[in-house]
Structure 1
């Protein structure tokens, strides 16, 4: 286990965030020790806005055994189940490896820059599927114990889940379908095409949840809010539902921009917000 004080802007895809004590845990024993005080859990730092003042809680990041995966399939009750996949594993690498092996079920998650655990917590996905669709079992650490849950026990819905309070996803098993690399990559090409136009600059992913029957990006576009700026934070010119860091944005810049957008359109934030932003 490694404990260090870091600036969280170096650990978020948006590139903002102040100081915190980072605990990188490598075993279940490390995790139990780290969880003895108030904590937050950091995945890949996407879908996250962190205060410029940082956070007082320990920040736990999963490494070691929590980054391992086993994509070998085992038949079970008419389905095919993977081995255990660590919650600290990077989802984009897993999606590509499944494609290489010709395993279908994760194609809709292409391009999501998250760890497996972070993707489970927010039920990450695209119009082509959510991670909950492929889950067989989720292992969660809470109250000092590792417990197993079926997906239907965790209340998955659009960009949300209902894990036990303080629960940390540690491992999952997926239900995948044997296919061919060619067939899987053809499906992935459709997902990739749908994601064209997303910005290349630093961002935290989609800022707002899509309202029922509509698109947050479309609404921001038709209200003429693309290009709106606060300091070094800007509504992307390429996709209205992305706020990008032009090079030196602060959490305050980003938050003020969020509030300006919401003063025009009543949208629900998709990001998780850590700390107090004034």
Structure 2
């Protein structure tokens, strides 16, 4: 079996960008999923962050994220597209090739699938000249795009080669869906795979879905769904996926410790997964 390349999200760690990069490099991770806030939070501004990232030698597998995208019109849509332009310009400087986008979560947005597909097509077209790909991730609490079946149908409707799917193990397992639910999606359409675990065996309420996703995720091996995470990694590898597997873990407890301490959870999760994949 091909050995997976594990990466980590900078948003899973607290501290300055420099502290995060030092901890990431020291722990043997060669690439990161970068949070846009890490670019603007530096004392020497965005340009300083760009320089620091380039000097670190750490690759950037994705930038997250543009939230609540698709279905808007007028000034809101114009704002989202301008935000995308600024992100794409930065990504070009950073040699980052994937921009993550998530769907609208408000019930007040017009959830017209043709309109959402059209918006995604326009975004993918905007990103193409800079060599940036758009990775769309459904959210289990979105009123319109809350499953991978719905997201894949939307991507097919958008009908552009520059648009793919981001697979998030949390979004999959929170709905008790197995990796086989992804059978109809070709490996070439998978842009990134994000990994996390959580403690609850089921998540029946929308409020719980959101709260756990933003504050109580765990690393694989620490929660109740480690077997499912391992099966997802093996499934993607067997399917022919060759991209990164990113630890995308947001937990208030981990964020209360230093990057050097909290990243040890990621190191243990990496070894836990490798031992089971090779066992």
Q: Same fold (TM over 0.5)?
A: no
Higher relative strand content: 1
Higher relative helix content: 2
Structure with higher RCO (Cα < 8 A, 6+ apart): 2
Select the structure of larger CA radius of gyration. Answer: 1
Normalising by structure 1, report the TM-score.
0.32
